[in-house]
Amino acid sequence: MTPALELERVTCTFVAGEDRAQRHTAVRDTSITVAPGEFVAVVGPTGCGKSTLLNIAAGLLEPSAGSVRVFGEPLAGINARAGYLFQAEALMPWRNALQNVIAGLEFRGIGPAAARAQGEDWLRRVGLGGFGDRYPHQLSGGMRKRVSLAQTLILDPEILLMDEPFSALDVQTRQLMENELLELWSADRKSVVFITHDLEEAIALSDRVMVLSAGPASHPIGDYRIDLPRPRDVAEIRLDRRFNEIHADIWHAMKDEVLKGYAQQRR
Amino acid sequence: MRSSGGRLKLRLWQAAVLLAVFCAWHALTVPGVLPPFYFEDPNKAAFFFGEPLKVLGRIWDWFSGGDIYRHLWVTLQETLLAFATGTVLGIAIGIWLALAPTASAILDPYIKALNAMPRVILAPIFMVWFGLGMLSKVALGVTLVFFIVFFNVFQGVREVSPTVLANARMLGASRRQLLRHVYLPSAMSWVFASLHNSVGLAFVGAVVGEYLGSSEGVGYLILQAEGVFDINTVFAGILVLTAFALALDALVALAERRLMVWQPRSGETERI
């Protein structure tokens, strides 16, 4: 089967604008393959170039070397088959929740009445039925994330790229959102690349966890299959014995890298 | 939101300040009210600073007699034309240069030079180019308005959140749609901030232009009065212009409130 997303030996080096000798390699020689319907989490210490990888997969960034293939075809420009959930606030503040949700439909030229109906349906599905006319600043952080989720999912992307989407939320809201995400995902099993620095979140959500080394020039150092049964409840599964075994296993491999990353940041 | 009682009180205080200024003006200039302490001749203060009652009387005469309307209409037309043209040009060129880094790098020193130049000096040149009619005044106003709007739009487009931009691109926005749905609305809050400044400058352009050479307009009236040392009429002209500049600014504020509903306002809670 053709993989949904294939990053092959991707290297990404940034050069400073003026001084071309000053370069920073964020990712080196990294290959990631995501099968259709697979939920892959990528974990690694902060500053290891996780977001860079995702931006490459989204087509927002061109790799210095290596290739990206989407369903077997080389990627050129924006990855139109992928949806992207950003870590930072990405909603357009001048559009209300409903207008934000249907923005993608509007860009595709879908009529306002049809777009509205779909948008309202999606707002209900993320639990924001009556909030369509609120502007982003009138919504809480968790609600804004839901709007973002609806905004991305309404376009029915085959691949979902998520960059620490819930990292800014409090623990309770976060677990709620994680469960909602799993529920939405299980309905039509998209391929997901989920970036996080939280190992527990990674294990609880995904089919596979990839561990990246500390930056700069980070590269994968481990690939773990998560054989926990689905459907899962992210709060309960953390108490599962198997969960803790996997966690100990991955953490053992990750610990040195986390310490390395920490030491580099302190320098 | 301030309660309506507090608002009324505020307005009353503001009116009181205005009244106090007029009273002080009146007391200091009307011959014979105060013993002369600076000028020996009691009429001299009135000669130099005008008398508020006569100034108000002149304004009354203008509006009741109908003399002013023709001049006011000319000045307003010049102002509005300069304001609209300068704003549209400023937005268009501001967006273009903000999105075209090469062009903006090439033009950067020239834009800075044009902005640093005292542009009122251009008025006589515009007279030669466009004649003594309305066009030369509009041209002067445009040069004043344009740069303020331009720099604000330029900044506004540059400061679009990269995440919002990347998100819109991922949602499938074309370049045109990015312009319409991301850059333009994002720059609008900057545009409105600049419009408040440029309303006043559009008036400056019109009046200075008229002052330097024209046959109608409020600036022309002021120039005529100055020629015969009629200080009261000069002050009356200034007051009328100020009132209209304020009215135009209020219109801009109204449009801003209508168009910028999405902006968070501080203390947006409702008392029950």
CB-based contact A7:A27 (threshold 8 Å): no
Residues in B 150-189 with any Cβ partner in A closer than 8 A: 161, 163-164, 166-174, 177, 181-182, 185-186, 188
Q: What angle, rounded to 10 degrees, do the helices at B218-227 and B67-99 form?
A: 120
Tell me which chain B residue has its CA closest to the CA of residue A57: B170
Least confident of A149-163, A173-187, A247-261, B106-120: A247-261
- How confident is the model over B5-20, as a mean pLDDT? 90
Chain A neighbors of B263, CB-CB under 8 A: 93, 137
How many whole angstroms separate alpha carbon A236 and alpha carbon A254? 24
Chain B neighbors of A94, CB-CB under 8 A: 185-186, 188, 262
Regarding predicted confidence, which is higher, B130 or B35? Answer: B130
**Domain ranges, ordered by start, for chain B:** 1-49, 64-259
Nearest Cα residue to B56 out of B23, B16, B34: B23
CB-based contact A205:A166 (threshold 8 Å): no
pLDDT, mean over chain B: 86
Of B163, B172, B261, the CB nearest to A88: B163
A-B contacts at Cβ under 8 angstroms: 75
Partner B contacted by A93 (CB < 8 A): yes
Residue B110 has pLDDT above 70, yes or no: yes
Residue A19 has pLDDT above 70, yes or no: no
What's the confidence (pLDDT) of residue A113? 93
Residues 6+ away with beta carbon under 8 Å from B34: B27, B28
What's the confidence (pLDDT) of residue B169? 93
The answer to the question of residue A138 being in a domain is no
Of B163, B170, B264, the CB nearest to A137: B264
Residue A146 has pLDDT above 70, yes or no: yes
Residue B170 has pLDDT above 80, yes or no: yes
A231: preceding bond cis by omega (within 30 degrees) = yes
Partner A contacted by B14 (CB < 8 A): no
The answer to the question of residue A243 being in a domain is yes
Residue B161 CB-half CA count within 13 A: 15
How many whole angstroms separate alpha carbon B232 and alpha carbon B225? 8
Tell me which chain B residue has its CA closest to the CA of residue A161: B170
Tell me which chain A residue has its CA closest to the CA of residue B174: A107
Chain B neighbors of A80, CB-CB under 8 A: 172
- Put simply, the answer to whether A91 touches B182 (Cβ < 8 Å) is no
Domain that holds residue A16: 5-81+162-168+192-266
Q: What is the DSSP string of B68-85?
A: HHHHHHHHHHHHHHHHHH
Residues 6+ away with beta carbon under 8 Å from A253: A211, A221, A222
Residue B163 has pLDDT above 90, yes or no: yes
Residue B270 has pLDDT above 60, yes or no: no
pLDDT, mean over chain A: 88
Q: How many domains does chain A have?
A: 1
The CATH number of residue A204's host domain is 3.40.50.300
Q: How confident is the model at residue A103 (pLDDT cuts 50, 70, 90)?
A: very high
- Put simply, the answer to whether A135 touches B173 (Cβ < 8 Å) is no
Q: What's phi and psi for A60, nearest 5 deg? A: -80, -20
The answer to the question of residue A29 being in a domain is yes
Q: How confident is the model at residue B37 (pLDDT cuts 50, 70, 90)?
A: low
Of A80, A94, A138, the CB nearest to B172: A80
Residues 6+ away with beta carbon under 8 Å from A95: A103, A135, B262
Residues in A 147-176 with any Cβ partner in B closer than 8 A: 148, 151-152, 155
The answer to the question of residue A155 being in a domain is no
- Could you tell me what percent of chain A has a pLDDT over 70? 97
Partner B contacted by A18 (CB < 8 A): no
Of B163, B172, B174, the CB nearest to A90: B163
Q: Nearest C-alpha of chain A: how many angstroms from B185?
A: 7
Q: What angle, rounded to 10 degrees, do the helices at B162-170 and A50-58 form?
A: 40
What's the confidence (pLDDT) of residue B33? 66
- How confident is the model over A197-217, as a mean pLDDT? 87
How many whole angstroms separate alpha carbon A149 and alpha carbon A114? 19
Instruction: Give residue-wise pLDDT tens across range B177-206.
Output: 999 999 998 888 888 888 888 888 898 899
Instruction: Give residue-wise pLDDT tens across range B40-72.
Output: 776 777 777 888 888 888 889 888 888 888 999
- Put simply, the answer to whether A103 touches B174 (Cβ < 8 Å) is no
Q: How confident is the model at residue A98 (pLDDT cuts 50, 70, 90)?
A: very high
- Put simply, the answer to whether B173 touches A93 (Cβ < 8 Å) is no
Fold of B64-259: MetI-like fold (1.10.3720)
Instruction: Give residue-wise pLDDT tens across range A6-16.
Output: 998 888 888 87
Q: How confident is the model at residue B35 (pLDDT cuts 50, 70, 90)?
A: low
B160-177: b (≥16 Cβ within 10 Å) or e: bbebbbbbbbbbbbeeeb
What's the confidence (pLDDT) of residue B7? 86
The answer to the question of residue A71 being in a domain is yes
Partner A contacted by B269 (CB < 8 A): no
Instruction: Give residue-wise pLDDT tens across range B228-253.
Output: 888 888 899 899 989 988 999 999 98
Of B163, B171, B181, the CB nearest to A155: B171
Least confident of A157-161, B79-83, B201-205: B201-205
Residue A214 has pLDDT above 80, yes or no: no
Residue B254 has pLDDT above 80, yes or no: yes
- How confident is the model over A251-265, as a mean pLDDT? 79
Q: Nearest C-alpha of chain B: how many angstroms from A112?
A: 15
Residue A114 CB-half CA count within 13 A: 8
What's the confidence (pLDDT) of residue B1? 46
- Put simply, the answer to whether B262 touches A95 (Cβ < 8 Å) is yes
A82-93: b (≥16 Cβ within 10 Å) or e: bbbbbbebbbbb
Of B170, B182, B185, the CB nearest to A84: B170
Tell me which chain B residue has its CA closest to the CA of residue A85: B167
- How confident is the model over A115-126, as a mean pLDDT? 92
- How confident is the model over A64-79, as a mean pLDDT? 90
The answer to the question of residue A253 being in a domain is yes
- How confident is the model over A224-236, as a mean pLDDT? 88
| Residue of B160, B164, B170, B270 best to disrupt the A interface, most CBs of A under 10 A | B170
| Residue of A55, A84, A94 best to disrupt the B interface, most CBs of B under 10 A | A94
- How confident is the model over A220-234, as a mean pLDDT? 87
What's the confidence (pLDDT) of residue B193? 83
Cα–Cα distance list, B235 to A162, B122, B191, B223, B227 (Å): 65, 26, 32, 11, 14
Of B166, B171, B186, the CB nearest to A151: B171
